[in-house]
Structure 1
Amino acid sequence: MASSFDKYQKRKLISSYISVVVSIALVLFLLGCLGLLVINSKKVADHFKEQVVMTIYLNDTAKDVEVNQLKKSLIMADYSKEAIYVSKEEAAEFMKADTGEDFMDFVGYNPLKNSIDVYLKADFVTTETLTEITEDLSEKGFIEEVRYDNDLVELMNNNVKKITFWVLIISALFTLIAVLLINSSIRLAVYSKRFIIKTMQMVGATKRFIRKPFVWQSVKLGIIGAILALIGMAIVLYYLDISFPELQLLQNTVLIAILFISVFILGVIITWISTFIATQRFLNLKTDQLYY
């Protein structure tokens, strides 16, 4: 009979440990994924900004020397990521491919202009900077027009600011929720052993002696949960990098390493503090208060 009871208690204890580990792992995993989002949010925003194209249309009278010099200066410019020359013939082919019709059959000639498509670096994709670049380029006599989607640029910058703000707010709230959830799991685990704690205290054990095994056991559970969370984060990061190679998510190795270490340390610290506070609470309770 005693053997069956011992087995039941052992299974109950193991079940309690598993639930604590799973709770810690899930919370740290979600917190870590949010951290990955925060780290890569600027990179994702920059990726979309760098898809904005500033097109420089050239006069038909522009000389090859002038065009080549302009292209070289654009490639070397601080704001330029890439500059591609597009002849009017190539532009006509692109339009034909998009529409499925050859407009030159109706018009009788090619009305398009030779142009240079400039892909800007993300930091320079602002209305103010693009206006300055446009004014500077417009001073060249062989440039007919500089065109870009100003409404798209403003919309993109405004949305990036809003998203960044809310991501930071959500990160702070989620961190608080993570701490509270892990703390609740640890407190429930300690609560189930409140009578053992009080019994040890009644036979003369010091508070430090009583707390030590509980704290160490919780820290071990926190380490296991943190490791499981890190494995999950690594898998998510790996598949995201495969799915979106253009974002180069694995380039920020230092920040990613800091995030992983932070998640691990956070799991250990929260479990340690939560267990310390929980055991201290039951140590300070009177025996008759343990039943409430």
Structure 2
Amino acid sequence: MSSNYSNKIFSNYFLVIISISIVLFLISSFTLIALNSEKIINDFKENIPVVVFIKDQSNKIELSKFEKNLEINNTIKKFDFISKKDAAIKLSEEIGEDFIDYLGYNPLYDSYDIFFTSNNVNNLFIDQLVEEFKNESFVEEVTYDAPLIDLINKNILILKQWSLIIGSIFLFISIILMNNTIRLSVYSNRLNIKTMQLVGATKFFIKKPFIITHIKLGVLSSIISSVLLVVILYYLNLNFFEIDFEKIKESVFITLVFSLGISVIISYFSTSIITGRYISSNIEKLY
């Protein structure tokens, strides 16, 4: 009998931990994405190049001066020089054949891929700079993806607004799910709650062990969800795309603290309210 009761308690708590861990993991994932959405957008903007194609037989002194001007320009994050030979190799790899053998010559140009800081990635600023580049005697052509930049800048505010709305809805649903999970857990002890009340225990005395237990379960669930989140981040970093942990460490810390805080707060208030309802209910309604 005692063994069956212990197994029932363990099974009940195990389901609570699993359910809350899943909810907290989803909350943490969305929170981390929301906190880093601007960083993600900025990183994307800073990887949109303005490509300056250089005429053949250009003056090396002029090019050297051009590079120095790029280096001291604080609106430019970085720039890469790509020789026509390297460009040809890359293009041949992309199309799957050596087009130089077919044409008999390399029609490509040396070029500079210029990347700007995110604050300066807008069509108005870049158009002005492009005109300056075109005025250089050694410049053959300047290209960049203007429609993409325009699309990003127009939709940043909309993206932030929708993130806030979706986040609020998601948090509300998560709170309901956690509350229902705790309610089912407390429900299985409703008769014990009423028995304690009938023998003269105060409301605080009855609530205390349930609150402490579910706060512990909430904290444990938060730890599990946090470990899972960090493991998945490292997995994504190793197998899919590079994550700069130095840049996101602050947001990861905030996310983990937020997850812990949410678990403790919801566990406390939900357990207290639900236990109080069973204390106040008629014994006939408990069956």
SS, match of residue 252 in structure 1: helix
Residue from 191, 200, 205 that aligns with 1:209: 205
AA aligned opposite 1:118: I
Name the counterpart of 1:191: 187
Name the counterpart of 1:200: 196
Segment drifting more, 176-185 vs 126-135: 126-135
Name the counterpart of 1:77: 73
Task: Work out the CA distance in 1 between the residues paired with 2:31 and 2:161.
Answer: 14
1:255–1:61: structure 2 CA closer, same or farther, 3 Å change rule? same
Q: Does 1:124 align with 2:120?
A: yes
Name the counterpart of 1:57: 53
1:131–1:9: structure 2 CA closer, same or farther, 3 Å change rule? same
Q: Does 1:22 align with 2:52?
A: no
AA aligned opposite 1:286: N
Residue from 233, 237, 240 that aligns with 2:236: 240
What is the aligned-residue RMSD (CA, Å)?
2.6
| Structure 1 unpaired stretches of 5+ | none
Name the counterpart of 2:144: 148
Task: Work out the CA distance in 2 between the residues paired with 1:208 and 1:96.
Answer: 76
Name the counterpart of 1:222: 218
1:123–1:240: structure 2 CA closer, same or farther, 3 Å change rule? farther
Structure 1, residues 169-213: CA drift from partner, whole Å, max 9, x if none?
Answer: 332222112111111011111122222222222222211111111
Segment drifting more, 221-230 vs 59-68: 59-68
1:112–1:232: structure 2 CA closer, same or farther, 3 Å change rule? closer
Task: Work out the CA distance in 2 between the residues paired with 1:152 and 1:51.
Answer: 12
The share of aligned pairs that are identical, in percent, is 34
Tell me if structure 1 keeps the 8 A contact 2:182–2:267.
yes
AA aligned opposite 1:218: H
Task: Work out the CA distance in 2 between the residues paired with 1:112 and 1:7.
Answer: 79
SS, match of residue 52 in structure 2: strand
AA aligned opposite 2:16: V
Equivalent residue pairs, number: 286
| CA drift at 1:17 | 1.1
Name the counterpart of 1:290: 286
Segment drifting more, 115-124 vs 56-65: 56-65
| CA drift at 1:82 | 2.0
Q: Return the TM-score normalized by structure 2.
A: 0.86
| CA drift at 1:78 | 2.2
Q: Which runs of 4+ in 1 moved over 6 A?
A: none
| Structure 2 unpaired stretches of 5+ | none
| CA drift at 1:263 | 0.8
